[in-house]
Amino acid sequence: MTGWVKDPGSINVRSPTASATRALKVPRETETLRKRTVEMLRNAILDLRFQPGDRLIERELCELTGVSRTSVREALRHLESEGLVHTVPYRGPVVASITPEDARQIYEVRMALEGLAGRLFAKRARPKDVAALTTAARRYERAIRQREVKGVLAALTSFYDIVFTGSGNAIVASLLRSLGARMQFLRATTALHQSDADTEDSVANFWRIVGAAESRDPERMQAACVHQVRHAAAVAVRVLGAMPASDGEPRRGSLGAVRKVRNRPAA
CATH number at residue 214: 1.20.120.530
Same domain flag for 106 and 192: yes
Q: Report pLDDT for 32.
A: 80
Question: Are residues 104 and 200 both part of a single domain?
Answer: yes
- Residue 11 maps to a domain: no
Question: In the prediction, which pLDDT does 130 show?
Answer: 98
Select the more confidently predicted residue: 263 or 43: 43
Report which secondary-structure segment, H or E, holds 96: none
Same domain membership, residue 78 and residue 128: no
Please check the confidence at residue 249 and state whether its pLDDT lies above 70: no
For residues 146 and 50, state if they share a domain: no
23: number of Cβ within 10 Å: 9
Question: 165 is in which domain, residue-wise?
Answer: 100-242
* Alpha-carbon gap, residue 186 to 196, rounded angstroms: 17
Q: Which amino acid is at 8?
A: P
Say whether both 129 and 209 belong to one domain.
yes
Taking residues 186-207, report their average pLDDT: 92
Classify residue 212: in a domain, yes or no.
yes
Q: What is the pLDDT of residues 12-59, one digit of tens each?
A: 545 555 554 454 444 446 668 888 898 889 888 887 788 888 999 999
- Of 104, 133, 106, nearest to 118 (Cα)? 133
Residue 39's domain is classified under what CATH number?
1.10.10.10
Contact between 228 and 132 (Cβ < 8 Å): no
| Within a domain: 266 | no
Q: Is the pLDDT of residue 229 over 50?
A: yes
Question: DSSP 3-state assignment of 216?
Answer: coil
Same domain, 238 and 117: yes
Closest of 86, 18, 8 to residue 52, by C-alpha: 86
| C-alpha–C-alpha distance, residues 211 and 204, integer Å | 10
Examine the domain organization and report whether 163 and 178 are in the same domain: yes
Band (179; pLDDT cuts 50, 70, 90) = confident
CB 202 within 8 A of CB 145: no
Tell me the CB-side half-sphere exposure of residue 58, using CA atoms within 13 A: 15
248 — pLDDT class (breaks 50, 70, 90): very low
User: For residue 113, is it within any domain?
Assistant: yes
The total domain count for the chain is 2
Q: What is the pLDDT of residues 143-152, one digit of tens each?
A: 999 989 889 9
Cα gap 263→259, rounded to integer Å: 10
Task: Round to the nearest angstrom and report the end-to-end CA distance of the chain.
Answer: 39
**217 belongs to a structural domain:** yes
- Partnered with residue 94 across adjacent β-strands are 55, 86
**Distances, alpha carbon 137 to alpha carbons 28, 144, 162, 174, 236, in Å:** 37, 10, 11, 22, 20
Same domain membership, residue 107 and residue 207: yes
Rounded to an integer, the average pLDDT of 216-237 is: 97
- State pTM to two decimals: 0.72
Q: How far apart are CA 71 and CA 58, in angstroms?
A: 10
> Is residue 115 located within the same domain as residue 236?
yes
